[in-house]
Structure 1
Amino acid sequence: MSRHKREPGTLPRPLALLGALLLATATAVAIRMLPAGAASPSRPPAARPPATPAPLPAQADEPPAAFVGFVGFVDLTRQPAFDLPAESRRTGVRRYALGHLVAGGDGCTPRWSGAAGPRTSPMAGRIARLRAMGGDAAPVLGGPEGRELAATCTRPGGLSAAYRRVVGAFDAAEIVFEVRDSADRAAVLRRARAIQAVQRERRLRVSFTLPLRHDGLTPGDVAMLRATRQAGAEVAIVNLLAPIEPRTARGARLGRVATAVRAAGAQIARAQGLAEPGHAWPRIALTPVLAGRADLSELDARKLAAYATHHGLAWLSLRGVTPDPDVSRILWRTSSYR
């Protein structure tokens, strides 16, 4: 959106820049409070009361927010100095997911997986500048290189306090859980109750990232989604990690992905208590996972972008090996295919 003409009700540019500077300072202080080591968690920051009550799971058929196009994934363990504002200006991508936060210390202390920690990450000010540009970034909890807090934090009230610390440190409107513990029913229920507690205090959009098989989701993941809803937590989006077969594979590779997504959509609709399977489409995000640079062609990228926009998916993302630049540019412009 052009900023040369100020619309009625908007702040003058000097005040907007001052607000962005203050947000950067506050976010930097908050992230420094999120320890990278084994220190016991301090008292969580007070939750901000929402202007209106947070939506409850009973409103199951209400669609989530509108399609946002492409969401970039940033592995801060491997790229702790990733420049969000610069990358956003280069690519046009405005939304990012930042991974991964896992359990550390006493099991209730969030930390970055791997060697990099929030104290060494320069991300605080960069998130603030991204937001000043109209973008946003959401932290990702769990993932492949550590245990999600729900699996380790069994102290009463400890898990909800840990989630509050993450939300407060990033001033996050959204958090993403990359769930790998669906078979652990105790962890599933702890996570659901902790999410519900935070959602009752403030508006918080929650997404779950789950692996996609050829026949949809695993039975365990479907049961986990159902149990989470029944425990009172609202999961707005289910992000499907879809492995992409190499281009040497026979038959319609992307057709098989589409079949798997459709199967997962029916499972998600049942687990989320939706009236019709078609109501699940805006609650699904699709993240192709590449094993090789050449596994996705420009034509493949156009098909994926058109598929996401045609079905009104929540977003499209990418994991694994980085494809050719021309392929990436097509995916970055996903929203233009609508």
Structure 2
Amino acid sequence: MTSGKHLRAAISTPDVRRIVAVTSFLLIAVLVVVGIFVLRNREIETKPWFAGYVDVTLAPPLAFETPTSAHTKNVLLSFIVADPANPCEPHWGTHYSLDQAGTLLDLDAKIAKLRKNGGRAAISFGGAASTELATSCIDLPSLQNAYQRVIDRYEVSTVDFDIEGDNLQDSVAGARRAQAVAQIQKDRADRGKPLDVWLTLPVSPRGLTDEGVAEIEQMLSEGVDLAGVNIMTMNYGASRIAGQSMLQASEAAAVAAHSQLGIIYQRAGLGLDDAAVWAKIGLTPMIGTNEITADVFTVQDATQFAEFAQSKNVGRMSQWSNNRDIQCATATLNPVIAPHTCSGVTQDNGVFSNILGEPFTDRFK
């Protein structure tokens, strides 16, 4: 054993300098890593927001440009999909080009009026009924251009990708989508115009599907900074076990998806704490009668689900859809097929928006 006196004598001045330099470098590296982790958590510590989906092409059209309450002033306009005749051309629900929507639906003017009335709009790509652009547009620059044209035309800073059905099964399309979105997000960030990107994905009471998990992982691997993952708490069918209510199934789906998302971020080297993961969760019930008509999300379910969402401090609440937030004519209550322009349950007009939106502050971009 060497005494302290002899040890100090054995170490030269250059050695001391090297030790100090290495120690300082390691300390700086640790501080940088800690700083990045703290920054990531701080970036997602934004107050939660509410916005209902609006089916733009549905007739009769919803007058979203004149909000009826504080909870209907922020909307997710849906859906931008691929033109069946031109795979890289963005269309509103395969029915209207962007220019046609501006002329025939007065869409650009309505968005401007919404903003004048204190509201905000985001754009949702995809949906269940049509082909999402990345599925049909195999040329990456053309795909990026298609997304960019929509974002620029409507001057939005939040976009939503509703990926389900065949679009979700196509992993090659998922890779293209992730690459295009990552580049757009980076380009906008370089210009000081950040873009919030949400993924909207199907769930069962057991959580996200394998394909949904893969979609998130593709986005993260390409460097997309996801604002969050919005789960569609609806249409459970046989995945809802006997005796499990819609409310119970929806809460179970949220808890399971939260656990999955935490693991996904950890695998990606972007570990988040429990609260930070909840801040990246969005919840979207289909109000009233679902497409699987045995699944009915009631006004009482909405009240308790909003309380659950608030208790978890989720990042977002939405609903499908504002077009449906009205009571049907008595003859069509409890319909065999879920209606598009009413809920199918007994309700006051706009009650779902008011209940689901009430706990959430106005931080929608």
Give the TM-score normalised by the residue count of structure 2. Answer: 0.69
Give 1:297's aligned residue.
298
Q: Deviation at 1:90?
A: 4.6
Report the Cα offset of residue 224 of structure 1: 1.7
The secondary structure found in structure 2 opposite 1:89 is: coil
The one-letter code matched in structure 2 to 1:325 is Q
**Quick check: 1:298–1:326 contact (8 Å CA) kept in 2?**
no
Identity %: 25
What's the secondary structure of 1:263's corresponding residue? helix
Name the aligned partner's letter for residue 150 of structure 2: V
The alignment status of 1:275 with 2:276, answered yes or no, reads no
- Residue 254 (1) aligns with residue 241 (2): no
- The runs of 5 or more residues in structure 1 that have no matched partner are 1-55
Query: Which residue of 161, 169, 177 corresponds with 1:177?
Result: 161
**Aligned pair in 2 of structure 1 residues 60, 230: CA closer, same or farther (>3 Å)?**
farther
Q: Tell me the secondary structure at the aligned position of residue 208 of structure 2.
A: coil
Counterpart in 2 of 1:162? 146
Alpha carbons of 1:145 and 1:334: their partners in 2 closer, same or farther (altered >3 Å)?
A: closer
Task: Work out the CA distance in 2 between the residues paired with 1:335 and 1:82.
Answer: 18
The one-letter amino acid paired with 2:171 is R
2:302·2:356 contact (CA, 8 Å) conserved in 1? no
Query: Which of 106, 125, 129 is the aligned partner of 2:109?
Result: 125
- The DSSP-based 3-state class of the residue aligned with 2:205 is coil
Tell me the C-alpha RMSD between the 2 structures: 2.9
1:74 and 2:74 correspond: no
Question: What is the rounded CA distance, in whole Å, between the counterparts of 2:244 and 2:40 in structure 1?
Answer: 37
| Aligned pairs (5 A) from 1:179-218 | 179-180=163-164, 181-202=167-188, 203-218=194-209
The structure-2 alpha-carbon separation of the partners of 1:149 and 1:277, relative to structure 1 and needing over 3 Å to count, comes to same
Count, aligned residues:
281
Query: Aligned-pair distance for 1:136?
Result: 0.9
Retained in 2: the 8 A contact 1:73–1:99?
yes
Deviation at 1:330, TM superposition (A): 4.8
1:42-191 to 2 correspondences below 5 Å: 60-61=40-41, 62-63=43-44, 65-69=46-50, 71-79=51-59, 81-86=61-66, 88-90=67-69, 92-104=71-83, 105-118=85-98, 119=100, 120-180=104-164, 181-191=167-177
Task: Tell me the residue number matched to 2:323.
Answer: none
Find out whether 1:221 has 2:205 as its counterpart.
no
Distance 2:247 2:259 in 1: 19
* TM-score using structure 1 length: 0.74
Q: Separation in 1 of the partners of 2:214 and 2:295?
A: 36
C-alpha deviation, 1:115, in angstroms: 2.8
* CA-to-aligned-CA distance 1:61-108 (integer Å, 9 cap, x gap): 331642113x1211112147332222x135642211111111113311
What are the residue-to-residue correspondences of 1:319-334 with 2, within 5 Å? Answer: 319=320, 321=339, 322=343, 323-326=345-348, 328-334=350-356
- Determine if contact 1:85/1:130 at 8 Å carries over to the other structure: yes
Please say if residues 64 and 283 of structure 1, whose CA atoms lie closer than 8 Å, have aligned partners that are also in contact.
Answer: no
Q: Indicate how the Cα distance of structure 1 residues 82 and 174 shifts in structure 2: closer, same or farther if over 3 A, else same.
A: same
Shift of 1:60: 4.6
Q: Which whole-Å CA distance do the structure 1 matches of 2:38 and 2:219 have between them?
A: 13
Structure 2: which 5+ residue stretches go unaligned? 1-35, 189-193, 321-337, 361-365
The structure that has the greater radius of gyration is 2
Equivalent residues of 2:78, 2:125 under 8 A apart? yes
Matched, 1:238 2:214: no
Report how far residue 268 of structure 1 moved.
Answer: 1.4
**Residue of structure 2 equivalent to 1:312:** 313
Going from structure 1 to structure 2, the CA distance change for 1:302 and 1:160 (only over 3 Å counts) comes to same
* SS of residue matched to 2:316: coil
CA, structure 1 residues 206+58, in 2 after alignment: closer, same or farther (shift >3 Å)?
farther
Secondary structure of 1:82's counterpart equals coil
Query: Could you report, residue by residue, the CA deviation over 1:231-276 in whole angstroms, capped at 9, with x for unpaired residues?
Result: 1112212111112679xx7344412321121110111122233333
Contact 1:80/1:121 (8 A) holds in 2: no
Shift of residue 191, structure 1, vs aligned partner: 0.8
